[in-house]
Structure 1
Amino acid sequence: MSWLTTSNSVMYELAARNPNMTDLDRLTNLYWALCSVMRSEVPGDVVELGCNAGLTGVLLEMVLEAESPDRGLHLYDSFEGLPAPSSSDRYLREGDCKATESDVYAAFERWNLRPPEVHTGWFDTTLPQQLPDQVAFAYLDGDFYESILTSLTHVWPRLAVGGSVLVDDYCDREASPRAWDGLPGVKKACDEFFADTPVQARVLVGVGDLAFAEFRKAEA
């Protein structure tokens, strides 16, 4: 079976298993964004911040094994659920979205993939010391203002030129009228961080209520 056929069937299955976190719009955008970075030979590893039970990580690893198997995949999560929300956040509550490290390893074993590097703890503790020296692609799914701001603060300086950061739950209704606006702290954190930072940014769209943005590092 070809990689194309395999990846399509996997995306359908992942979307069916957890549609709230891994719907087809997210997965197809992630697939093409990561493939673009890999095929451009941007140096560095791949990271996911807020991996939950590892289903999105499964797709990331499949792309790596097909396109650039010498790269590492690093997944980060507290595995205690979400932290306390700030005044900029709503919808989700402290402790929501809880999963375990065992869930992650079981997902990778289910699809016969090499296990990722899993980093357990809050982002402000793990990211300063446990990020790869160079990052080619990052998927940020932290849900809350402080989590996204912390993620960008540590990931962006290590992102290689030409690399991409894909941010889930970034809602810009002007650019994507159907985007879900449940987690406004995400956009606020991104807009504040990039206010004085040169970046190539675009809002992505899907057939549903996808709220996604890509931030690509350009030449200084």
Structure 2
Amino acid sequence: MRVRMAIRLATQNEAMSDLERINAIYWALSTTLIHRVPGAVVELGCNAGYTSVWLARIVQDFAPERELHLFDSFQGLPDLGTHDAYLRKGDCQASLDDVKANFATWDLPLPIVHPGWFEQTLPDGCPPQVCFAYLDGDFHQSIKTSLEHVYPRLAPGGVILVDDYCDLDANPRAWDGLPGVKRACDDYFGPGAPQLEVLGGVGDLSMALIRKPIDER
């Protein structure tokens, strides 16, 4: 793992990420690529692209032939739903130029970027097969829409990481600021879904790993 890059990205983006999240992404994505699970890599909610360059670095190191797709409204967050909290409409806004600048800083090839709301871009823009997805949509409807389009395309053995997923029964240290994220996963899979695993750490890591069973098509 490129530890110096990980530390630098965690420092630059400390309001939205930390080293534990970056480590989780590394192990989940690199293992998926090492085991040659077929499909593209996607990120839903890329913001300014700090996590995106980390995904791109891992792809370049392990499987440079794989496509990386980024999805973001570049208008900030949408309206809150009844299950959402903490953030507000328009928060977390970044631009496509921010993404391009980050990729230029790290001398990485620009991925395929899909600007617009998920419900507009995912139906045609989501690759037909996905090996790994990072979902960082913050709100209930954004995560639900993401799962509806990504999970059916996820290859058997593929992985989805859902940021801000908080289950305090499983991980009492987790940050619980965005309750709509877990509710969206429960709505899609049902509570206690066997393919969903809560991750933990020494800090307030709030994240779930969803692995598609090998025998599920």
Q: Which residue of 2 aligns with 1:78?
A: 73
Q: Which residue of 2 aligns with 1:135?
A: 130
Number of aligned pairs?
A: 215
TM-score (norm 2): 0.97
Aligned: 1:64 with 2:59: yes
Aligned: 1:90 with 2:85: yes
Cα offset for 1:20?
2.0
- Measured in 2, the distance between the counterparts of 1:71 and 1:79 equals 24
Q: Which residue of 1 aligns with 2:47?
A: 52
Label 1:46 to 1:197 Cα distance change in 2 as closer, same or farther (>3 A).
Answer: farther
Please provide the CA RMSD for this pair.
1.2
Counterpart contact for 1:26–1:210, Cα < 8 Å: yes
Match of 2:176, as an amino acid?
D
Match of 2:190, as an amino acid?
A
> Which secondary structure state, in structure 1, belongs to the residue aligned with residue 89 of structure 2?
coil
Cα offset for 1:40?
1.1
Q: Which runs of 5+ in 2 are unaligned?
A: none
Q: Which residue of 1 aligns with 2:38?
A: 43
> Which secondary structure state, in structure 2, belongs to the residue aligned with residue 109 of structure 1?
helix
Match of 1:64, as an amino acid?
V
Cα offset for 1:66?
0.5
Aligned: 1:145 with 2:140: yes
Cα offset for 1:133?
1.0
Match of 2:167, as an amino acid?
D
| Candidates 147, 163, 173, aligned match of 1:168 | 163
Runs of 4+ with deviation above 6 angstroms: none
Label 1:44 to 1:197 Cα distance change in 2 as closer, same or farther (>3 A).
Answer: farther
TM-score (norm 1): 0.95
Counterpart contact for 1:76–1:119, Cα < 8 Å: yes
- Measured in 2, the distance between the counterparts of 1:8 and 1:197 equals 34
- Measured in 2, the distance between the counterparts of 1:162 and 1:199 equals 14
